[in-house]
Chain A
Amino acid sequence: MPNRSFFWFFFPAGLAMILFIGLPIISTGIQSFYAQHDQILIEVKKCDPFGCKTSVVVDQEATSKIKDEKPLGKFNGFGTYIDRNHLATDQVSEFWNESKSVGEFIGKVGNLPFYKALLFTLTYCVIVTPCVLLLGFIIALSLNAISRKIRGPLIFGTILPMIVTPLVGSLVLFWMIDAEGIIGANLQILMDDPYLSVKSSKALTWITIIIYGVWHHSPFAFVVFYAALQTVPQEPLEASIIDGASRFQRVKHIVLPHIYPVVTFVALISLMDNFRVFEPIIGFSAEGSAQSLSWLIYDNLVNEEVILFGSAAATSIMTIVGISIILTPVLLRTWKEFRTNR
């Protein structure tokens, strides 16, 4: 395709991307460098049905004057990025100095909100992505080997988890693991511990969310792999059968190399998706035990009665940076292959 026509083909999509993704990211980036102005408080008499007392309120006149002059707020540089609720550089170095062992240091750092969220996000990413790839591939292989007559309904059943709205899917599991739900109650009997609660145990909550993640994302991998399997040429497969290759050898030496680019693609998408894990935390009401980076942003924006735009913006930018770092190895590899193919 000549460059010119490519440009016109790409133009509408590109424009939408700049308007709806590019500009908001830039605006988020700018906001992350600003904090609110110093609050000007004045003492006033407050009366309510329970009596009067002297207390403080924000002085609106003085505040609006400052706000008109500098609507963005007070320039804070990287102040928000390095404060305790984000990278916490001061606290981390302090912990490093006062900790006697590496274990103690990690424990203390893991108690900081950002690192706590990062730890969960990475754990989720690292466990769910390979499981999704593997499970998706196995399902695709098995369905591909099944008689065509029952393949249709089976495919539909398999992609069902992806069709179900994430929140609904997680709620169903949430009720099942309730102390009086089918899984929760049976676990109590099985473990012989009437006070066992999947929802209040941190480890069990993590496991539940991870299992849910694998269940929810596998169909996507399956669909893509299944489509890719249809393109595997039959001749080399038949030739290998004649040569006496086992099923495993055929998959390893012919099928996998053939669909390798697709695997990279699914891995990329899964990694990005999993790094932004959010819905299951809300669906499982798991805020207490598991927090992700996306959840931190949500928390800053809606859970507080005061909205923390600076905090949320800083976490957003760091999430973007985090995704880029995670994707770098995969992207580098694709780039290398692209170069060698040319």
Chain B
Amino acid sequence: MKKILVTLLFLLFGTVANADCNIKSGSINILANDFPALRTLVETAKECKGSADFKVTHSAEHNKIAVPALTANPSEFSVRVAANSSIVPLMNADLIRPMNDLVKKYGKGIQESQLITIDGKVMAVAFMANTQHLYVRTDVLQENGIAIPKTYEEVVAAAEKIRAAGKMKYPYAAAYKAGWNLAEEFVNMYIGHGGEFFKDGGAQPNINNAKGVATLNMLKKLADLSNPDYLTHDSEAIKVEWESGNVAIMTLWASRSGTLLDDEGDAKITAATKLVAPATVGGGNIPAATLWWDGFTLAKNRSDADAEASFRAMAHAASSKEMVAKAADQAVWLVEGFVPGPKSVGVIEAVKMGAKPYPMLPQMGLMHGALGSEIVEFLQGNESAEQALKDVEAAYITKAKEQGFL
């Protein structure tokens, strides 16, 4: 009985001690993607909601909801947790507000490096970094006498060797689902080849070249070493493949490592799973990967009181040393006090190797969309690489014209 009482008291004071933001009014409604680190962040923000209304929507379909929901006035959400790419449509349509004054007033725990500024205006506050890097099964590699691959050429050689040894039918995996995921793999590989998506800073496309062809050929080689259903596999699907022990080398988001390495699933596979640096390609020295940040933005079409309440709650989370200490293995936090663990290897190596951030350009979304649907036929073997790249450029130009970029 005494024990229970003590626990209860502890809980009571514990919550009181956490709720130090003293928010008196306003309402907070958050739209965010759905992975563990974001859930932790939102939970941390909730700790200090005070007497404000607090609602959250975690959805993998967040990209589809965001623009319509924030266009409404008043907007459905007061906070949108976005990334390099998803902040662009919000800025294009002028749906998020600068928060310089709020940062000055309430953002004392936030580090300078966390601020995303456009022309001096703070448009987002980042709290975690992300990238796609290699995951390897050390046991399978050792058994076949393969060193940990550093380039995609080595990945192909290693996967071929594993297949030839009869160990696995489909030793490689990456999220090649037609659409956004596949386009993202192209973006990574093309940047790894040193490619630029647009001609000298303008909006004219620039992918139908030798680097583009090399990119597609590498994607095809990797696809041939993957489960034949690769065009339907997203990050979640390849994670399942990995956990079933069907895959020895995989390219996956750093933010997914948490659920991959938890106690669920085969302990042997988990123990042999190693996170390593992203691979380079084509003799290049920067990794074939893009750097991403996740941060929060504030909706423009929402009252100032709601924006203030939302900022204070989110800023509490985005500067919480307790949170980054407790959830150190969920993400590579950009928050002060974060000590990188073994699961941060991918991102830290990527930064060290000079990986480029995903291009935050107003017309990039159109290019990404065109890539996702037009390179499929090449991978299926129905089209030449040149034709596929020509199709991408043509599809992009048509869309860019309709949107007024060309």
Contact = CB atoms under 8 A, between A and B. Distances in A.
Interface of A: 35-39, 41, 44-51, 55-58, 60, 63-64, 74, 76, 80, 83-85, 91, 111, 113, 178-179, 184, 194-197, 199-202, 284-289, 291, 299, 302-308, 310-311
Contacts of B227: 179, 197
A47 B116 CA distance: 6
Nearest to A91: B394
Shortest 9 CB-CB contacts between residues of A and residues of B: A197-B228, A305-B365, A288-B178, A44-B119, A285-B232, A304-B369, A288-B376, A36-B404, A302-B64
Most chain A beta carbons < 10 A, residue from B394, B399, B403: B403
A56, A202, A310 — most chain B CB neighbours (10 Å): A56
Given A49-B293, A200-B228, A310-B402, A303 B369 contact: yes
Contact of B115 (A47, A202, A285): A47
B400 to A, nearest CB: 9
B179 A58 contact: no
B231 A306 contact: no
A111 to B, nearest CB: 7
Secondary structure type dominating chain A contacts = loop
B118 A44 contact: yes
Contact of B362 (A39, A113, A195): A39
24 contacts: A35-B401, A39-B362, A39-B363, A48-B126, A49-B113, A49-B116, A49-B126, A50-B351, A57-B119, A63-B94, A83-B398, A111-B383, A179-B229, A194-B169, A197-B228, A199-B229, A200-B228, A287-B373, A303-B369, A305-B86, A305-B365, A305-B369, A308-B399, A308-B402
B253 interface: no
Interface in B321-371: 334, 351, 357, 360-363, 365-366, 368-369
Contacts of B398: 83-85
B52 interface: no
Contacts of B230: 200
Nearest to B290: A50
A50 B402 contact: no
Interface string B13-43: 0000000000000000000000000000000
Given A37-B404, A58-B362, A305-B368, A46 B117 contact: yes
Contacts of A197: 227-229
B105 to A, nearest CB: 21
Interface string B281-319: 000000000010100000000000000000000000000
A294 to B, nearest CB: 15
B274 to A, nearest CB: 25
Contact of A111 (B86, B291, B391): B391
Interface of B: 63-64, 67-68, 84-86, 88-89, 91-92, 94, 113-120, 126, 129, 169, 177-180, 201, 203, 227-232, 291, 293, 334, 351, 357, 360-363, 365-366, 368-369, 372-373, 376-377, 380, 382-383, 387, 391, 394-395, 397-399, 401-405
B306 to A, nearest CB: 21
B108 to A, nearest CB: 19
B51 to A, nearest CB: 33
A310 B399 CA distance: 10
A35 B114 contact: no
A300 B401 CA distance: 14
Contacts of A305: 63, 67, 85-86, 88-89, 365, 368-369
A202 B382 CA distance: 10
Given A48-B84, A55-B360, A310-B402, A285 B177 contact: yes
A39 B91 CA distance: 13
Given A48-B360, A311-B402, A56 B201 contact: yes
Nearest to B374: A113
Contacts of B178: 285, 287-288
A48 B293 contact: yes
B61 to A, nearest CB: 8
Contacts of A74: 404
Contacts of A48: 84, 116, 126, 293, 357, 360
B232 to A, nearest CB: 4
A184 B399 CA distance: 37
Contacts of B372: 303
B357 A199 contact: no
A306 B115 contact: no
Nearest to A64: B94
B291 to A, nearest CB: 5
B200 to A, nearest CB: 12
A87 to B, nearest CB: 12
A200 B378 CA distance: 12
A169 B398 CA distance: 36
B365 A306 contact: yes
A113 B373 CA distance: 9
Contact of B405 (A39, A194, A201, A284): A39
Contact of A49 (B89, B114, B118, B397): B114
Contacts of A202: 380, 382
A57 B291 CA distance: 20
A83 B401 contact: yes
A200 B229 contact: yes
A39 B404 contact: yes
Contacts of B334: 49
